[in-house]
Amino acid sequence: MKRLAGIIRKETREILRDVQSLVLLILMPAIFILVMSLSMQALFQPESTFKIKIATLDCDGSGESKRVLDILRRTKNLSITEAGPGIPIDAFPSVITEGGSNFGLVVNRGFSDFIRDIRKKPATPPLTVYADPTIQTALQVGIRNQLVMQLFTLRMNDFFDTHTDLLSYAGFS
């Protein structure tokens, strides 16, 4: 036990002798954690007013595409703005950056076919997502997962709406 106390005293004297090491090893990480927690606290509070801005372009124009955009509009921390109908897809990334959006979402043609026919593999992706490269990867993955969940929900709801007989076989009314 005396040897351990001696080692601790020796290491403490060594660290206190070199003030720069003390600052780098202990104070800087503590200050970093404090500053980051203060700057990010609004994101993690339930009453947060932080909104992720998403610009959308609906190339499909179907009821299904309008439904998915309405669902996203009702999502608490998302702010959805629609680009005009005459905007070409090539010009859409510049609309995103000029409008101050964090993400861009294009509902591609054939989106409604993708939702209606669960057996059909789409020739093109139903949605195209653009992300500001300065946005954290975790946030990008979170938005992607939210969109995948909404697509899955829409497809399943549409499938069961058109195949109510399957539900009756399973005992659901």
Digit-coded pLDDT (tens) for 38-91: 766 665 566 666 788 888 888 888 888 888 888 888 887 788 888 876 778 888
Please tell me the pTM assigned to this model: 0.64
Amino acid at 82: E
How does pLDDT run across 99-141, given as a tens digit for each residue?
788 888 888 888 888 888 777 777 888 888 888 888 888 888 8
CB burial of residue 57 (10 Å; 0-12, 13-18, 19+): buried
pLDDT at 4: 92
Q: Sketch the domain layout of the chain as residue ranges.
A: 2-43, 51-162
Rounded Cα distance, 23 and 40, in Å: 24
Domain 51-162, CATH number (from 3.40.50, 3.10.530, 2.30.30, 3.30.70): 3.40.50
Question: Which residues have CB under 8 Å from 21's CB, separation 6+?
Answer: 15
DSSP-assigned beta bridge partners for residue 8: none
**Token match 């106390």: residue?**
5
